[in-house]
Structure 1
Amino acid sequence: MPATVAGDIDKDRQEQIPKDSCMLTAGVDIGSRFVKAAIVDPERGLVGRALVTTGFEPAEAAAQALALAKQQAGLAADASLPTAATGAGQREASFDAAVTDVAAAAAGARHLVADCRLVLDVGAESARAIKLDEAGRVANFALNEMCAAGAGSFVESMVRVLDASFGELDQWSLRSTGRAVITAQCAVFAESEVVSLLHKPTPREDIAKAIFESIAARTASLARRVGVAFPIAVVGGAAESQGFVAALKREFKSEAVFAPEAVRFAGAIGAALEARRRREG
C-alpha cells in the first residue's frame, strides 16, 4: 500500500460542512511521485486533502488519496462527489473529467492567490510558468521537463551530496551571509560543483543558498519566456522551501512572490474547481 500523508484542515471548516454534500467537488492530481487529492467547498474553500505516494499503481493511489481526503472533510470514504483528475497519470484512473496540468495549476493557484498574474509550478520532475490575464485565464505558458535542474528532484540530489535533510538545507540557505554560485544546467554536473565547493571549503549555508538560487534562476527564465507579471504564485512541492521562495524574490527583485498554504495541492484544487464548473454546466 502507498505511504500516506494527510494535510491539516481547520476543524471549524469541517464542522461547518453541510450534511448535504452536493456543493462539494473533488480533484485528484496524479503525479509521477505523489497523488494529491482535494475536496473543495464553494464558500469555505479547501475542506479536505490528502497526499499518498504514487507507487506502481496510480489508480489505486488515486482512489486511496480521494478516500482519505473525503474522510478528512467529514464525509464517508465512498461518498459520491463530482471529481476531475489532472497530472501525468490522469489517464490511469477513471473519474468524471480530466483537466490539463496547466489549466489545473492555473485555476488552483488563482484560487489560493486571488489576484496572481503569473504561476510558477515547480514539482518533483518538471517546472512550468503560466501567464494569466486579468480574468485569471491562461494567456501563455512554458514548460521545462528536460532537466532536473529546474525541478524539485534537483534539491533531492543536492541533499544526498550534502548528507542533509531538506529542512536542514532550507534553514542553512536562510542563514547564508556569503556568496557561492552553481552554474551547471544538469543536476549531475551540479553535484560535481557542490563537491568542489565543499572542498574549497565553502560554508554549507552559502552552498545551500546557491542551490536554491540555481533553481530560482532556471524557473525565472521560464517566467521571462511568457512574460513576468506580479503578483506571482509559487506552487508545487518546491514551493514549500522558504529558501527557494526567498531566492525567487531576489531573482525578480520583488516581494510580490507568494507561496500560499497547501502549495502541493494547487493542481488538485484546480481540478476540483473544474469539476464544479462542469457540474454547473
Structure 2
Amino acid sequence: MPALPFATALIVAVCAFASTHAEARDLAEVRSSGTLRIGVYKDFSPYADVGRGIDVDLGRALAERLGVKADVRSYDADENMNDDLRNIVWKGTVLGPGVSDVMMHVPVDATMSARNPQVKIFGAYHRETLAAIRSTELLPKLDKVADIDGQALGAENESIMSMALLSSDGGRLRSQVQHFHSMDDARRALEEGRIAGFLGMRSQVEPMMAATGRRFTMSMPPALPGLPQAGWALGLAVGAGDEALAQALQSALAELERDGTLDRIFKQHAVTRMPPL
C-alpha cells in the first residue's frame, strides 16, 4: 500500500483525534443511544481480561439496570490514574477506543478527586486489600520482613507491592524478588517451588488459592513502607458535569448490592467482595 502524502496523513490523524476527543455523554444521551460505554483496563485479571472479569460483568449489570446495552471498551493503563481518567473519561487519546461514559476500577479518594476536577468519582463497590500466598514448608511464617530469610518471593511487575519489596530494609530483598506479568505464571512458579510465596492484591491471591486447590496458606503480608494496610476503595468515574448519570449509576449499584448480584459477580471470579470502609 503506497504511503499517504504528508498532508493527507495529517488530516487523517487530526480526524482520528477529533473522534476520540468527544466528551462523555449525559444520562439522556446514553438512554437515547441505547448503549452505555464502559471503560475497563486491558489485560487486568480478574477484573478485566479478554472480555470477561469482575469489572466487565459489573459494567454489564449496571447497563442492564439502566435499560441499555453495554459497550465494554478496553484501555491500556497509562503512567498514573490522572492520565487514565483523562484518557478514558473526559478527553480520550489519538489512539484508542475513545471516551467512555463511565470508568470502572477508580480509587475513591478525596485527594484523587481534588486532582481531577474534570471527573466525578463515586460509587465505591469494593475495598481492595493486600495478601500473600505461601508455602508453609518454605515460609512457615510471614509476620515481618525478617521471616522471609533468603527465600524467593513473587510480585507483579511494576506494582505497589513490587516497589515496597524492592525498597524495604535498604533494598535487602532485591535479589529475592521475582516479577510476573501473568498470575498463571506466578501460580506455576509457586507450585513448582521456584518461589516460596507471592505477595500482591487479595483479588490476585484468592484466585491463585482456588486454582491450587488451597494447597497453600493465605495471610496478610508483612508491614512494608508505603503500603495501605487497610486497603483502598474502588468505584466509578464519569465526567464532572454528568450528575444525572452518576446518580442513576449509584442507584443501580445500590440495587445490585441489595439483591446480592454484586457479591455473586465477585464470587464467580473466586474473589471475596470487601465492603468499602
- Taking structure 1 as the reference length, the TM-score comes to 0.29
Computing the radius of gyration from Cα coordinates, the structure with the larger value is 2
Return the structure number with greater helix share: 1
Query: What TM-score does the superposition give when structure 2 sets the normalisation length?
Result: 0.30
